[in-house]
Amino acid sequence: MSPAEFGTIINHYGPVIHGNVDRTQLAWGNNTVSQARSHTEQVAPEFELIVQAVADTVEKLAAVGLSEDDLREARVAAADVFVEAAQTEPNRRKVRRAVNALKGFLAPVAMGVVAGSTADAQERARAAIEQLSVSF
């Protein structure tokens, strides 16, 4: 068979991207890369305190000593709060449910029933639960 019978051959010497690339960052041919992206959502005013409490809690989650699965699920619950609070008309029940889920992940640590939890982790979990108990 001759090359003409195989059709056109295209060699790509760089990235080939198929599909949606909105908000995508790409570094190519660099020895070192430093990228940053900033995306800000406006939070409904009455949800600002709870969103701040959730953000503070997320920063402390790794130090509390949750299992990897619980840590992942707690971060999902926190993301649900952030997404819902940025809606034009946030659903309080959805936010409350996600905040209660976060408290549920922290409660066993705060009560000291998680094997290996330190006094520091217990105190951090108690403080986070108290902070998450702000009314909204």
Residue 89 has pLDDT above 70, yes or no: yes
What tokens were used for 75? 């971060």
In a domain, 10, yes or no: no
What local confidence, expressed as pLDDT, does residue 2 receive?
Answer: 59
CA 48 – CA 135 distance, rounded (Å): 11
In a domain, 36, yes or no: no
In a domain, 58, yes or no: yes
Identify the three-state secondary structure at position 36: coil
Q: What is the pLDDT of residues 90-111, one digit of tens each?
A: 999 999 999 999 999 999 999 9
Q: What is the pLDDT of residues 55-74, one digit of tens each?
A: 999 998 988 989 899 999 99
At 19, the amino acid letter reads G
In a domain, 28, yes or no: no
Backbone angles phi and psi of 32, in degrees to 5: -130, 150
Identify the three-state secondary structure at position 92: helix
In a domain, 8, yes or no: no
Q: How many domains does the chain have?
A: 1
In a domain, 16, yes or no: no
Backbone angles phi and psi of 103, in degrees to 5: -60, -40
List the one residue out of 72, 74, 97 whose CA is nearest residue 84. 97
Q: What's 60-72 look like in SS3? A: HHHHHCCCHHHHH
Domain range for 107: 45-132
